[in-house]
Amino acid sequence: MNRPLRAPRVDNRLPLLLDEAARLFGSQGFAGTSIRDIVRKVDMLPGSLYYHFAAKEDLLAAVYEEGVRRISERVAAAVEDKIHPWQRLEAACVAHLEALLEESDYAQVVIRVRPADVPAIGTRLVALRDRYERIFVDLTRALPLPTGTNRRTLRLMLLGALNWSQTWYRPGRDDAAAIARGFVALLRRPLDQE
């Protein structure tokens, strides 16, 4: 980490570059997006990217890290003013899904890109995602549950269902908050009618 000797220039296109990388990595995946795809809309040449990043993987790592930062902040803010454990979990799910489906391209990258697909930075990505999911570990821990309930299974089911919605969600027709609330409701209320 060699600090810059001087303040960055105001006309530098790094932010635009990251935005476009997030957009494309999120919608086409890592392997499905080329360096030239990314720099095209930023009016940059392929080689210029390597002033900012040593490799394509490092660009992904930067986007991924920013994605975790944004969605973590978003969820933390949503949970903050809620008291009841179930309300807190529901608020977190709503914020998670809104960020994922309706707000941030960066969040999409975090959910879409599989760390195992990018060996060079795989463990780093896993660590970032684990750090984020720890929020949900805490939220489920605080839940008043029947004895014997497997909290890990509960968390994996909820997050899995939320994340998978990325594959079928239709903007405009579906509503992220409604989906999230629907999932939580299915867990709270009994479905069995015997």
Task: Give the interface with DNA as residue ranges (CB under 7 A).
Answer: 4-14, 33-37, 43-52, 54-57
Binding of residue 158 to its own copies (CB under 8 A): yes
Number of residues lying near its own copies (CB under 8 A): 39
Among the listed residues 14, 16, 156, 177, the single contact to its own copies using CB under 8 A: 156
Q: Choose the binding region for its own copies from 7-15, 51-59, 75-83, 180-188 (rule: CB under 8 A).
A: 180-188
Only one of the segments 8-16, 30-38, 66-74, 93-101 lies at the binding site for its own copies (rule: CB under 8 A); that segment is 30-38
Residue 142, binding choice from its own copies, DNA, none, Cβ under 5 to 8 Å by partner class:
none
First to last CA, the chain: 62
C-alpha–C-alpha distance, residues 181 and 194, integer Å = 25
Q: How far is CA 127 from CA 109, 110, 121, 124, 131, in A?
A: 15, 12, 10, 5, 6
- How many CA atoms does the CB half-sphere of 59 hold within 13 Å? 29
Using the contact rule CB under 8 A, the part of the chain among 7-15, 47-55, 58-66, 163-171 near its own copies is 163-171
Q: What is the 3-state secondary structure (H, E, C) of 121-142?
A: HHHHHHHHHHHHHHHHHHHHHC
Question: In the bound complex, what is the minimum distance in angstroms from residue 96's beta carbon to its own copies?
Answer: 13
- Whichever of 81 and 194 has its CB closer to its own copies, that residue is 194
Task: Select 5 or 83, whichever has its Cβ closest to DNA.
Answer: 5
Instruction: Verify binding: residue 59, its own copies, rule CB under 8 A.
Output: no
Residue 174 bridge partners (DSSP): 171
The helix/strand count (H/E) of the chain reads as: 9, 0
Contact 108, 166 (CB under 8 A): yes
Q: Please choose which of DNA, its own copies, none residue 100 contacts, taking the beta carbon within 5 to 8 angstroms, the exact cut-off set by kind.
A: none
